[in-house]
Structure 1
């Protein structure tokens, strides 16, 4: 039995008890960037899937809720801040766990760093729409890197409150649109035709499902905040279900509202004519020009909220891996006042700046290449981690004594594994819809996920030979320093 790692009792640590259910849910939902997903991606889902598109988001939400059953059950038994890789290690072994750890680092970094390209282009669009000014994207993205670094440097309590405000604002503008459409009765009267089998069971639904699963990326990060949660055995599962339930229902509702704004017979043509302007046209018609201006601004803040949420998740993964002894020990340092993994945050910011500057130096398009080419393997990597975790959960519970039911430990994770495998196939087969790139580029982007995992397996083999002590205890919970209490 490996000896647990320990840290000096007076060493700075993450703030214990800083986050409640709503705080953690804010992090997760903010990472999904609901306003950006709706205004930027939902019109394409309508264009491809027709008026049955809302059901695609409901089905994705149901799939991930099934996954969450086993995932949150395991969170009560494995409390490591490494989440995905810790679960996979316990079920599939240290080699698979180390491969998963590398995949998680690449996946979460890909999901964040690519979005700096979106920040640049979204800010360009906003300043052009509101001021008629054209600004370069690179200074905006670099300024965003500094803002996000500062947000991660401050306490997790600060980040949770900031994300709460930003999330309420971005969802609020969509609720305002919904109120306007419902009060007016829509373009042709309110209709529930979107939910009839004839409009759902169409060839385009597969593409909608691919978009829908991508819209939930990052929801599983609830467990990363376990060490900072109040009563984590209750708070983490609640936050997970709240996040999945909210996103699934809210996405479906807002897409349905957009359809009602134009009418069942007209919305597909409207989405095809101007997908980027669909939501702006709707809110202008039903609320007013001022609301469209506000939506432009709130898309920028939505992107910033997503960046901060992913930045905090990445920092905690790096902290956990540094505590494992896999990453440099310096990344495990926690700020004595803010209780933040500030060295990991600085390292992540430097990495992000290097990638952004490299794409800029190559003359790459910030949206079509920096965002889509970096985000896509990140999204696929996180979906692959969900699948591996779903496979690991029943294997783990077969090996340990527990009082959990078969539904939570076997039925739900096995069902989730089948559904997630189907989702991955859907995303890969429709990758051109995400990237707009050639088959060669799409193949390379998809291939990065198994390549990274295989590199992780090779690193695991090397670690087993050269550092067998670290390999043997990988994925077990270290004994962190005595936690700091969040100051009043």
Structure 2
């Protein structure tokens, strides 16, 4: 009688028979991965002041609108997740809706997008850690050792079991959101600078020229929320867990972002916050928490920004590994990348490859004497962000195309109306992001043009790759994203 992998002790299962640890993740665990990837504290302290500076006191509404758009997208997205169970998530959905050539292009785009979102953040880890050490201890350290130490730490976290990662992210997420809640409590108890105001919700303050820039920042703040479906194979009762985690993550991020930005406005007052943001955008939240809570809380916020970045890195690292695993199982990437650790049940070979790739990019920027924030973070992150937005758009378009061709019992609201509305809104979001790309990068027009075209070019390369696979490896092409991964 044959013995299944699930019956083998973890220590005895070989790399060839080991599988991902099914049934390990509940709704909260998956939500932790998604929300941690967004790095709420880093987004608020590092980016929200710029949103306030450009959009004024109506900035909180921009985050609500972005959250609402992605909630509409999630309707069709999660509906399709009940019908397509491949570990390839985005590219599997797009393949089934729009065809294999488009799906293969989407697979390349997913690899570039998620790697860009993670690897660039090693520059942010270096800059925030360096700034924190200087702020707290007056010491100056080079950035390269910090980034390399981060690579080792994240590589180890991805090597361990998925439930280990979920527990770690849970602790880090509580820390970073907790410090923001502490700030909110201080502001609310003391009534803000001049009393609490709802002026941020007034149409006159929302519909201003800077709102487009706020929306661009807001959509970027949700990047990675769609990775819930990547963990389907490790989820408990995935048909319920994955949709719940998706809506929980989007709802939490949208409401939490809007609330915290509103709190920041109250901390300085409707008539003073824009001036304060313009004077010291990087210090806006630290000034607020020092005023309303105390200097010790500002020191704690500095430390928790580092842990926020670490949590984001680990979340993206795990997502990348599972995409690489799925593509290795498909035969598009080398099969070796699909090996799973017999004890930890993690895609450890894919994790090692991703860590090596990150090290190569980090070392290349260091050798070029680049700035870890201005170049490594912004120049690598920006194409990743655009790539993931393009994937969301393609997935939204794929939903009605897929359901039009198959028999199902889903309602038209989920399979047609919501996806079409989401596609229009996501296309608008991409236009806003590209139109304000200089706000994200601070780079020259030539560099910005290059950063914008990376994702479309990578996607376009999928077409000749699809042609090559169809001619040279027809069995791989024929089976691509058509069967659930084992």
Give the alignment's TM-score, normalised by structure 1: 0.96
Please say if 1:146 is aligned against 2:178.
Answer: no
Mapped contact 1:364–1:370 kept (Cα < 8 A): yes
Q: Which runs of 4+ in 1 moved over 4 A?
A: 7-10
Please say if 1:437 is aligned against 2:443.
Answer: yes
> Counterpart of 1:485?
none
Q: Deviations over 1:19-78 (max 9, x none)?
A: 000000000000000000000000000000000000000000000000000000000000
Measure, in 1, the Cα distance between the counterparts of 2:66 and 2:422. 11
Measure, in 2, the Cα distance between the counterparts of 1:125 and 1:62. 35
Mapped contact 2:326–2:485 kept (Cα < 8 A): no
Please say if 1:112 is aligned against 2:118.
Answer: yes
**Count of aligned positions:** 474
Please say if 1:416 is aligned against 2:425.
Answer: no
Q: Using the TM superposition, give the Cα deviation of residue 458 of structure 1 relative to its aligned residue in structure 2, in angstroms.
A: 1.2
Please say if 1:376 is aligned against 2:396.
Answer: no
Mapped contact 2:91–2:104 kept (Cα < 8 A): yes
Residue from 453, 459, 462 that aligns with 1:456: 462
Q: Report the 3-state secondary structure (helix = DSSP H, G, I; strand = E; otherwise coil) of the residue aligned with 1:81.
A: coil
Mapped contact 1:31–1:218 kept (Cα < 8 A): yes
Q: Using the TM superposition, give the Cα deviation of residue 477 of structure 1 relative to its aligned residue in structure 2, in angstroms.
A: 2.5
Paired residues for 1:189-204 under 5 Å: 189-204=195-210
Measure, in 2, the Cα distance between the counterparts of 1:416 and 1:227. 26
Q: Using the TM superposition, give the Cα deviation of residue 473 of structure 1 relative to its aligned residue in structure 2, in angstroms.
A: 1.0
Segment of structure 1 superposing worse, 451-460 or 139-148: 451-460
Please say if 1:131 is aligned against 2:137.
Answer: yes
Mapped contact 1:99–1:452 kept (Cα < 8 A): yes
Gaps of 5+ in 2: 7-12
> Counterpart of 1:399?
405
Measure, in 2, the Cα distance between the counterparts of 1:200 and 1:32. 24
Q: Deviations over 1:156-184 (max 9, x none)?
A: 00000000000000000000000000000
Q: Deviations over 1:420-446 (max 9, x none)?
A: 000000000000000000111111100
Q: Report the 3-state secondary structure (helix = DSSP H, G, I; strand = E; otherwise coil) of the residue aligned with 2:478.
A: helix
> Counterpart of 2:313?
307
Q: Report the 3-state secondary structure (helix = DSSP H, G, I; strand = E; otherwise coil) of the residue aligned with 1:14.
A: coil
Residue from 319, 327, 330 that aligns with 1:324: 330
> Counterpart of 1:53?
59
Measure, in 2, the Cα distance between the counterparts of 1:18 and 1:476. 25
Please say if 1:388 is aligned against 2:394.
Answer: yes
Q: Using the TM superposition, give the Cα deviation of residue 457 of structure 1 relative to its aligned residue in structure 2, in angstroms.
A: 1.2
Paired residues for 1:271-350 under 5 Å: 271-350=277-356
Aligned CA RMSD, in angstroms, stands at: 0.9
Q: Deviations over 1:202-229 (max 9, x none)?
A: 0000000000000000000000000000
Q: Report the 3-state secondary structure (helix = DSSP H, G, I; strand = E; otherwise coil) of the residue aligned with 2:61.
A: helix
Measure, in 2, the Cα distance between the counterparts of 1:206 and 1:414. 21
Gaps of 5+ in 1: 1-6, 481-488
Measure, in 2, the Cα distance between the counterparts of 1:457 and 1:140. 39
Mapped contact 1:324–1:478 kept (Cα < 8 A): no
Measure, in 2, the Cα distance between the counterparts of 1:84 and 1:414. 17
Mapped contact 1:323–1:478 kept (Cα < 8 A): no
Measure, in 1, the Cα distance between the counterparts of 2:485 and 2:21. 15
Measure, in 2, the Cα distance between the counterparts of 1:456 and 1:435. 27
Measure, in 1, the Cα distance between the counterparts of 2:5 and 2:98. 31
Q: Using the TM superposition, give the Cα deviation of residue 144 of structure 1 relative to its aligned residue in structure 2, in angstroms.
A: 0.2
Please say if 1:169 is aligned against 2:175.
Answer: yes
Q: Using the TM superposition, give the Cα deviation of residue 478 of structure 1 relative to its aligned residue in structure 2, in angstroms.
A: 4.2
